[in-house]
Each structure stands twice: as C-alpha cells, then as structure tokens.
Structure 1
Amino acid sequence: MSTTSKPLRKLGFLTIGLFDEADPRRGHESTLEIIELGEQLGFDSAWLRHRHLQYGISSPVAVLAAASQRTSRIELGTAVIPLGWENPLRLAEDLATVDLLSGGRVNPGVSVGPPMHYDRVKQALYPDTAETEDFSFERVRRLLDFVRGERASDFSGMEGFEVFSDRVQPHSPGLGKRMWYGGGSLRSARWAGENGMNFLTSSVVKAEGNEEGGGEEAVVDFAEVQLSHVRAFRAAHADGGEARVSQGLVVIPTDGATSEQRAKYEAYVAKRLPRTVAPQGPARLLFAPDLVGTSAEIAERLHEHVAFREIDEVAFALPFTFDHADYVQILTDIATNLGPQLGWRPAV
C-alpha cells in the first residue's frame, strides 16, 4: 500500500448542525455537545457549516461563541460563511470578538458569490441595494482588511465624552493569519493564495483542467482536479509549499458501528454515489464519493488519493442527516482508529 508523504498533522471535523423546527434548541445543544466530545477525543479543530432559511446553523459565529465557553483547546472554524449574506465590517467585529473570547482559536472560512436563491430573497436581504451589491472577491478583500486592522473610518479620537477608533474594535492581532477561503476552482485557489489566506478544499470541485479526451465522454478525476487546485494555491501563496490547506472529504468509519448503523451508512452513501460519476449542472460540479467502511479500508483509499497525499490537515465532513449517537460513534472511530492510521496523534 502506498503511503502519504508525511503524517497527518491536524485532524478536524465539520458539522451542519441540523435541528428540528419544533425544537431548535435541542439541535444546537447537540452541536455543542459534539464539539465538546471532539475536544475530549483530541481533535484539533471543529468546523460549522452555514445555512440560511434552512434547518441548519444560520449563525455559526454565535454558536462558536457558545462553544468557546465550553471548550478550552480545540480550534473553532466556519466552512464556510457565504459573504453574500454579510456586511464585512460587522462580520469583522463579530469574528474578532469571538476570537478574543476563545483565546485565539477561531478559524473563519468564507466564500463569495450571490446568495442561494437570490431572486427569491434579495428583497428581504437587500431591499434598497439588491441590484448593486458586489458579490465578487472584493467582498472578501474588505473583510480581510478590516480583520487585519486597516482603517474603516477617517475619524478617531475624542468626541465629547466618547473615544472612537478608525479601525474595527476589538482587534484580534492573530486572526488575520487564520482566515480561510473555501474554494472549488483554480481561480479561487489562486486568489486565496495571492491574498495570503489559507485554503479549504471540500468534497466538491469544478471539473476543470483534468480531462482525458474530449466531448461528453471526457474522463474527469476528482482527486486530480483537487490536486491541481492545491498546487495552484500554493504556487500563488508567499509561503509556497508550507501554505495551509485543509481537505474536507466525507468519511464514515464503521469499526464501532452497530449492524443497523452500518446499513444506514451504506444506504446513505449509495444514494449519493450517482452524482459522483460525472460533472453536474452548468457549473460542472464534481463530487467526491463518500468513504464508508472500516478505518483500515478508508485509510487505504485516502493513501491512494493524490490530493490527500499533498496535504497534512483535514476537516472530515459529518453526514448531514444522521443522529447524535451516529456522530458520537463516527467521531470516536475517527479519533481512535482512522486518525492514528493516517499518522495523526491526538492533541492534549
């Protein structure tokens, strides 16, 4: 069996934080309990997805603020906050505040583009500016500037009895180096590198740059496409090969699963498998197959994955629709079986 070029250095997980509309508190509490468990198991990081007008976490920064007070070591990230829904200056204030409360453990991941279903939500979101909002990389650049301490106002000093700053307050000095861009294309990978960000690459990429043959029968390999993005990012980054990249595939180890859980997991993966066969939709999105099986089986498949061999950080994505007990089993197996087989050692 082939091996990775270097041991896995950082192991994290990603959750969507689903909840029942009739009892949303229970779902959020479950997410916080999972993060606490992650710290106990030695995971290096826990990441939250972001969902608007759905039954998942709509305010990950608020949830991370709560998690920061129930943990002491594990890093806390977002993967990702879609900036089309955000005011960069206000978000910079929230991120710096939570980063300070956490002791410098926040890793904000962001992306750009128009909000999902923009035509249906734009009047509620931007009733006066819907047609002029800028959803380009410039929105990320504004956030980076504010987080890194660039001026946000042309005034500072005293006004009456109040003191004003010309930059976002509070300022968290280390946060600027912990900003991540979640991208699935060569363009976004290069932009993240050129702007000194870290790079999140997930189980979805745009099928580009790696086709054998042509036309409808062209073969596109997910791992090779993802590898091209990782290399493009590092080639554009000042840190070169040391620039941070985290990979976010879906892995479901079954070492400690019951027979009922294994059947559920295999059915979940089988249902999602057809979308991985070929690029999907006008954007030609390519999905990675979910990895289900024993930790030894998953480790072997990861060692064969050319993009995985290029990185030493992961944030494995938890399946969206499972139960709390399933997540406990999956995380426990990842930390106690899969992680060590990838060369990882639990944090203490």
Structure 2
Amino acid sequence: MEKARIAILGASGYTGAELVRLIATHPGMRISALTAERRAGEEMSSVFPHLRHLDLPRLVKIDEVDPGDVELYFCALPHATTQEVISALPRNKMIVDLSADFRLDDPAAYKEWYGHDHLALDLQEEAVYGLTEFYRDRIKGARLVAGTGCNAITGQLAVTPLLKAGVIDPDEIIINLATGVSGAGRAPKEGTLHAEVSEGFHAYNIARHRHIAEFEQEFSKAAGRPVSPTFVPHLLPQNRGILATVYVKGAAQEIHAAHAAAFRDEPFVTVLPFGEAPATRHVRGSNHAHIGVVADRRPGRAIVFAALDNLVKGASGQAIQNANLMLGLPETMGLEAAPLFP
C-alpha cells in the first residue's frame, strides 16, 4: 500500500511531537514535511531528542513546503495563526486543524471567546467538527476538520450521549475537570513552571475558559435547546491526562445504560462497569478514553467520569483518527497501542 504523504505544520510543539511519534509507525502515512518557523533549519532530533531514532525531514518554514508532496496537512499551530495559514494552502488538500480556529460554527461566538473577528469565514462554513465518535459520517467526506479542545472532548464524551438520550436535566450540569500541564503548550509561561505547579492543585480560567463555547455549541445541538453548563478546569501537577468529574441530575442506572448503548461499538471509548471510576494513569499515552458512572447518595443524581490523555485522544491521536477516515484508511490504523503503565 502506498502511504499518504503528510505535512505537520507546527512540529516543534507538544501536539506536533505526538503526531510525529504516532505517524512514525503508521502503516498508511509517511511524513514528507515538518515545519517550525523559529526552529527552521534544525533537525527534529535537536528539538525533541526522544525522536532521534527516526529518519525525519529537517524542519522548514511553512512557505518552503512543496504542496505537490503533501496529501494531508496537520496544522498544530497557535490559535488565530491557523486561519491565515490554512487560507493560503491549496484548496485541493485535506487539512486537520488542531487549533481552535474552526471549532465554533458561529462567528459571533468566536469573536466573543477569542477576542477578534474570524478571518476565514468561507473555510469556517466548510469545516467539520472533529469529534470522531459523533461526527464520523461527516468527517469521512470532509476536506477540513477542526479538532476539538482537549477539555471539550472529555466533557462531551461524558455528557453528550446523555443529552441525546434525554436521561439528564440539561440545566443541571457541572463539569469539574483536572488536566495535566502539557495542555498549556510548550511555550514558557510562569504559571506552568515546575515550582508553580508541583505540589499544588488549583482552578484556572474560572467561568471563562474558552472551551465553554464548545460545550454550549455541542450540548445545545444534542439537547435540541440551549444548554450552558458550569465548567471549572483545574491544573494537575502531572504532564499528561485529563479527568472530568461531572455532576448531573438523572437516574444513575439509566445514565450508565445510555453510555453503554452510545459507545458499544466505539474502538477507543470504554464504559466501565457501573459504580467504577476511571483514572488518568490507565489511559496515558493512548488514544483510549474511559467513562464511569457512579450513583450519588442522593436519589435521582449521578456522578459521571471521563478520563483520557490530552495529547493523544484529546489532540494528536484524535487528529489521526479523523485523518484515517478522510484518507479512506481503517479508523484505528496507527492508534492501536495500549496505554503506558506504570
């Protein structure tokens, strides 16, 4: 089988490195170009020494990539940057975007949450939201797919099937989520220094995190009416992993049954036995997500859990899952590796 030629734009970040790690052993893809504007001219091994055993192209600037040698682009670039970059790419190339630039359907919502006008409205109309489990059929025929936020996919796996099944109260959703520091990216920031994060646990972006916009958009579609959950993210003193704890109003057994039905045939989503809760260490380094449902001590209320690796199922693994569908490859190809433990 001839492998699809892949370019990774923004390969010097964490999600770029994860794409390289996963695609390096992918039977249906090969990396033909890697870009990093500030690190152009360097070998990938000098940016990420853990990848030095791989035979990879040298990092270049985006305008140095030959489009003729690319079938699909992964864009692992900062928010706002991506709109301009993707607008300049040939319109006959497939694109999976890992930024937030094409996730929101409503340009007004994008402006509200990201602070500036959307600069590629024609592409926004074309983009398909990249939560594979819920948009698989549309992704198969898409040219441009917008990957979800890592927090957003975790909360949606926990809640969206319940709204679709009508087994919870849409006005009683509280998402309490904890995430590892790699979700903040690789650029140096005071708030993610070791001394600022280690031996601590704190909430951030309280009631104003940008992934709320994705929750409101997708939950409202699922419920068929406006839904606005309470969402509070917390920063964990660990590199990888997200655990969402979601408090809902509904019958716990019905909620568990709704999850079991929704994810019965999903290769990467496992619903645990009723009463069990997942842990981030059980999905680390993999494209797997674990869902748990526990009955609250109060009748008619339940606690729903979702755990995944923010860099794999929450970003790069999900992006490859989408790309597999776009390229006509088996959806699980290159993503079958088991989680790393301990």
TM-score by length of 2: 0.30
Q: Higher relative contact order at CA 8 Å, sep ≥6: structure 1 or structure 2?
A: 1
Bigger CA radius of gyration:
1
TM-score by length of 1: 0.30
